[in-house]
Chains A and B, each alone.
Chain A
Amino acid sequence: MIEKVKNIVFQNRFWKSVFRHGMPVNARLRSEAVMSNLFLHIHPVKIYKDSLLFRKTLGLGLISFYLFFILCITGILLMFYYIPHVQRAYQDMKDLEFAVSFGMILRNMHRWGAHSMVALVFLHMCRVFYTAGYRHPREFNWGVGVILFVCTLALSLTGYLLPWDQLAFWAITIVVNLIETMPIIGDDLRYLVVGGTLVGQNALIRFYVMHVMVLPLLVTMLIAVHFWRIRKDGGLARPE
């Protein structure tokens, strides 16, 4: 009976088109299974046993990725109720907290996830630094990681304005005034970021588009490169 079900599920054209190898019953098929799977191929086919120990990495990179994933899902759900308009934004945020079913938990998952991601990405960088993971041949991936960290901060900042409360307004006012102090390009850059001279509707929609579209796309692309390079650079760093 079980054999029959197994045959129906696994021995057909559809299953074989998705997984191009048989059941991973021996070492060769197991490595093939990992190699031909987009989601599993983060590690090279052959890996040092030590590298898989939790205490070697503390899982900080993957935790950062899981947080990004949670932020994408909760962010998409928040977008169904949030309208980036100066007269609606704060009200929508309060509706999410007090009127929408499970809105409060979604908003807070997004909020705490965002705070955590900044912390976890920073800790991940610390771990890579202290285990000398930035050295040859992983210099390029360290560079990609630094850009990802800056993107994380940019996402954090652009998201901070969206509730459109006093805290958000003054925080962004201060940040754009900091931009203004840059030599030569300061004034023009501030005008470009705010979309005018005051933090108003133009600034809100600019930050919103950056937060929900431009930066997440950039981060997704960079994460793909980052993960691909872990594999191509020979897995995790280890003592020489």
Chain B
Amino acid sequence: MSSEHDRRDFLTYLGWFATLGTFGGISVASARYMVPNILYEPPKSYKIGKPQDYPEGVNFLPDKRIFVVNNGGNYKVISAVCTHMGCTPRWIAEKDRWECPCHGSIFNNKGVVIGGPAPKPLPWYEVTLGSDNKLFVNEDRIVPFSQVLTIAA
């Protein structure tokens, strides 16, 4: 085994290392590049105006895709995004339930699935009253059905 042979092997490995390192690095960097770090999407927590703006019953906010439910001064907010494929269920007042137009999922007045392909109930979002007397919804906090915001008339 001559030292010249060792040197040739070493340079061969070095060449492979450099080539694979370069192309591997570029590939990994390109893949990572495709995953955005900053999103210019609407915020997950926001104000939706004063409680008095929402009359008794179920009020749909199309921009935020939520329903604001006012049950005699007890305020609750539920998602208007069907848990099946993300369509917008409609509130059917006569039947006291939500029905999704896309694939026929049905949610009762508690948001629980009572029919159709939806795998999960509609989530209720935390709603609080700010110091400016405006309702504040936080979609990152999902609350149980029993939690309500009661506002004295």
Nearest A residue to B36 by beta-carbon distance?
A: A195
Q: How far is the CA of A173 from the CA of B86 in the complex (A)?
A: 7
| Residue from A173, A174, A177, A196 within 8 A of B39 (CB atoms) | A196
B40 at the interface (CB under 8 A from A): yes
B34 at the interface (CB under 8 A from A): yes
Q: Within A170-218, which residues are at the interface with B (CB < 8 Å)?
A: 170, 173-174, 177-178, 191-192, 195-198, 200-202
Contact code string A30-72 (vs B, CB < 8 Å = 1, else 0): 0000000000000000000000000000000000000000000
Contact assessment for A197 and B86 in the assembled complex, using a CB-CB cutoff below 8 Å: no
B18 at the interface (CB under 8 A from A): no
Contact assessment for A174 and B102 in the assembled complex, using a CB-CB cutoff below 8 Å: yes
Beyond A196-B41, A197-B41, A198-B41, whether A174 also contacts B85 by CB under 8 A is yes
Q: How far is the CA of A66 from the CA of B102 in the complex (A)?
A: 36
- The winner among B35, B36, B39, B85 for most chain A CB atoms within 10 A is B85
Q: How far is the CA of A200 from the CA of B86 in the complex (A)?
A: 14
A198 to chain B, nearest CB (A): 5
B87 at the interface (CB under 8 A from A): yes
Contact assessment for A192 and B34 in the assembled complex, using a CB-CB cutoff below 8 Å: yes
Q: Which residues of chain B are within 8 angstroms of A196 by Cβ–Cβ distance? A: 36, 39, 41
Q: Which residues of chain B are within 8 angstroms of A192 by Cβ–Cβ distance? A: 34-35
| Residue from B34, B42, B102 within 8 A of A170 (CB atoms) | B102
Interface size of B in residues (CB-CB distance below 8 Å) = 12
Q: Within A141-168, which residues are at the interface with B (CB < 8 Å)?
A: none
Beyond A191-B35, A195-B36, whether A177 also contacts B41 by CB under 8 A is no
Q: Which residues of chain A are within 8 angstroms of B86 by Cβ–Cβ distance? A: 173-174, 177
Contact assessment for B87 and A173 in the assembled complex, using a CB-CB cutoff below 8 Å: yes
A94 to chain B, nearest CB (A): 22
Q: How far is the CA of A171 from the CA of B34 in the complex (A)?
A: 23
| Residue from B35, B40, B42, B85 within 8 A of A201 (CB atoms) | B40
Q: Which residues of chain B are within 8 angstroms of A198 by Cβ–Cβ distance? A: 41-42
| Residue from B35, B36, B85 within 8 A of A173 (CB atoms) | B85
B28 to chain A, nearest CB (A): 14
Q: How far is the CA of A130 from the CA of B87 in the complex (A)?
A: 41
Q: Which residues of chain A are within 8 angstroms of B41 by Cβ–Cβ distance? A: 196-198, 200
Contact assessment for B36 and A177 in the assembled complex, using a CB-CB cutoff below 8 Å: no
Q: Which residues of chain B are within 8 angstroms of A202 by Cβ–Cβ distance? A: 36, 39
Q: Which residues of chain A are within 8 angstroms of B102 by Cβ–Cβ distance? A: 170, 174
Beyond A170-B87, A177-B85, whether A197 also contacts B39 by CB under 8 A is yes
Q: Which residues of chain B are within 8 angstroms of A170 by Cβ–Cβ distance? A: 87, 102
What are 24 pairs between A and B in contact, CB < 8 Å? A170-B87, A170-B102, A173-B85, A173-B86, A173-B87, A174-B87, A174-B102, A177-B84, A177-B85, A177-B86, A178-B85, A191-B35, A192-B35, A195-B34, A195-B36, A196-B36, A196-B39, A196-B41, A197-B39, A197-B41, A198-B41, A200-B41, A201-B40, A202-B36
Given A191-B35, A201-B40, 20 other A-B residues pairs in contact with their CB atoms under 8 A: A173-B85, A173-B86, A173-B87, A174-B86, A174-B87, A174-B102, A177-B84, A177-B85, A178-B85, A192-B34, A192-B35, A195-B34, A195-B36, A196-B39, A196-B41, A197-B39, A197-B41, A198-B42, A200-B41, A202-B36
- Residues of A whose CB lies within 8 Å of any CB of B are 170, 173-174, 177-178, 191-192, 195-198, 200-202
- Residues of B whose CB lies within 8 Å of any CB of A are 34-36, 39-42, 84-87, 102
